Amino acid sequence: MLVTLNFMNAIILAIVEAITEFLPVSSTGHTILAAVILGIDQTPFVKSFYLVLQFGSILSVVVLYWKLFLNFEIIKRLIIGVLPTGIIGLVLYRTFKDFLLGNTQVVLWALLLGGIFLIVFEWRYKERATYDDVTSIPYKHCLLIGLFQSISVIPGLSRSTATITGGLVLGLKRQTIVLYSFLLAVPTMIGVSSFDLLMSFTPLSSSQVGLLALGFVTSFLVALVVIKIFLSYIRTNNFIPFGVYRILLVVAFFFLVIM
């Protein structure tokens, strides 16, 4: 029996989102699966709630790395990088919101295939890093990384996976593309969250406003605690463990929840 989102569930989903936001495992996918386990009805409000949680987590990047957002060379590269996702998001917004977001089967397939991809990619990847600083990334590479990011409109694929592996293919050092990926998340999620709230705006009840605020604040605070630990880890380690984890998660979810 499906239940409506309540304050306890909102906190749980916010914690899940914040912990997984900065890892190549798909925070949206994890949040959706967590909602399924909790029996939460996938209403339009709940789908908007997912995006607000992401916005809260991403805001922690601004707080912790605010000086980087004052660098005009970085700002230019973020603007170019966010363009593909913005355009594709506008075109596919309804498909994303009505069909993809909240679709458990899509999430499971994306997690599984993404996990296999990560393992194969890391086995075959040979570092040929050319660009070792965000300000040295060519503009055309920023655009291409933005195209990689746009693939992540499919929940379960992981925005960080798409951008980081795309950057590695283009010759960026792992540390450089990891930083650029998470800086790029800021304008991306600001745009996505703002556009979604504008397009799906309906008068909210006081309890719904409270749920949005609670989820936003919780994801922001949890992300503040975990972001530096996780960013430090993925800057210096490959993604094979995350690929294995994604596959095991899908298998466990299938046998424990679906069957």
pLDDT at 152 > cutoff 90: no
Q: Please tell me the predicted confidence (pLDDT) of residue 232.
A: 85
Q: What is the pLDDT of residues 10-28, one digit of tens each?
A: 999 999 999 999 899 999 9
Q: Domain of residue 149: give its range.
A: 7-258
Has residue 149 been placed in a domain? Answer: yes
pLDDT at 249 > cutoff 80: yes
Has residue 2 been placed in a domain? Answer: no
Q: What is the pLDDT of residues 98-149, one digit of tens each?
A: 777 878 999 999 999 999 999 999 999 887 777 889 999 999 999 999 999 9
pTM listed for this prediction: 0.91
Has residue 201 been placed in a domain? Answer: yes
Has residue 1 been placed in a domain? Answer: no
Q: Tally the domains of the chain.
A: 1
Q: Please tell me the predicted confidence (pLDDT) of residue 219.
A: 96
State mean pLDDT over 148-170.
Answer: 91
The 3-state secondary structure of the chain reads CCECCCHHHHHHHHHHHHHHCCCCCCHHHHHHHHHHHHCECCCHHHHHHHHHHHHHHHHHHHHHCHHHHHCHHHHHHHHHHHHHHHHHHHHHHHHHHHHHCCCHHHHHHHHHHHHHHHHHHHHHCCCCCCECCHHHCCHHHHHHHHHHHHHHHCCCCCHHHHHHHHHHHCCECHHHHHHHHHHHHHHHHHHHHHHHHHHCCCCCCHHHHHHHHHHHHHHHHHHHHHHHHHHHHHHHCCCHHHHHHHHHHHHHHHHHHHC
